[in-house]
Amino acid sequence: MARFWVCLAGAGFFLGFLVLHSRFCGSPVLRKFAFQISWRTKEIPYRLDVGWPKHSEYFTGATFCVAIDSLSGLVYIAQRGDNIPKVLVFTEDGYFLRSWNYTVDTPHGIFAASTLHEQSVWITDVGSDFMMLWLHGERGTGPAKFYIPHSVTLDSSGRVWVADRGNKRIQVFDKDTGEWLGAWDNCFTEEGPSSVRFTPDGKYVVVAQLNLSRLLLAAAPPVGSIGNCSVIGTIQLADQVLPHLLDVSGKTGAIYVAEIGAKQVQKYVPMNSNFPSFGS
């Protein structure tokens, strides 16, 4: 009996230590970061960075989107909620820098880019009035038609990849002519893609599947071919984490995932840090 009470007291002390450490040191130990990685090769190329960010208490709403400014080393995160900062800015190392709550109502998507002379951040705000500047396609199920298009990105050869979530496919276009080049649908029979990005070396396509709480990494096709989706591996997140949009650092290859269910952003870092960027 004495041994039982000693064990119980020890367990209680350890749990209390975790709570206090999380409260005062910003540790992520109590955050939702359960996950499972499945890979078709012996080498698992990504691991979860459980120490990012340094202080998770700044996540106070539903984190809808994340964007990486690789030139400046900044991570922009947009979240929804009442009376909270709508945009958070961290370093890629996880240090909180600043936030703002002006001009943004209901953020849905975000994109960041910098030159040597200026920084730029674009936010899709579905709660504000907007003016249509450019449109391609219409609602439907055929080629070059969309149903809930959710994310867009460019590959190194200038092809435009669109996550056509409602149609459970990714469509590909020429960025200059708008010509439809093909589509991937064989990977998305259960759930459509909510986000699509490329790794800096151009070898992998990274896809988020919202309701499955899953990330897919597929082999990127060569120039001149679209082919079929070939899944190399998956990262299965905890139930109801709900990865909405993601972005990939062009400098380190780290994957940042905005999770609206868990109300956090998680970072997955390459086991091999020698990712060449586009054009290198």
Task: Break the chain into its structural domains and give their ranges.
Answer: 44-128+242-273, 137-236
This prediction has a pTM of: 0.82
pLDDT at 151 over 60: yes
Across 114-141, average pLDDT: 74
* Model confidence at 80: pLDDT above 70: yes
Asked if pLDDT for residue 213 goes beyond 70, the answer is yes
Would you say the C-alpha torsion 219, 154, 212, 30 has a positive or negative sign? positive
Q: Name the more confident of 94 and 119.
A: 94
How much is the pLDDT for 24?
38
| Residue 155 pLDDT | 93
Instruction: Count other C-beta atoms under 10 Å from residue 47's C-beta.
Output: 14
Is 137-236 CATH 1.10.10.10? no
Question: In Å, what is the CA distance from 89 to each residue of 32, 97, 273?
Answer: 21, 6, 23
**Residue 33 CB partners (closer than 8 Å, separation 6+):** 48, 50, 238, 266
For residue 273, what pLDDT band results from cuts at 50, 70 and 90?
Answer: low
pLDDT band for position 129 (cuts 50, 70, 90) = low
**pLDDT tens per residue across span 88-99:** 999 999 999 999
127 has a pLDDT exceeding 60: yes
Q: What is the pLDDT of residues 245-269, one digit of tens each?
A: 999 999 999 999 999 999 999 999 9
Q: Could you count the other beta carbons within 10 Å of the beta carbon of residue 40?
A: 10
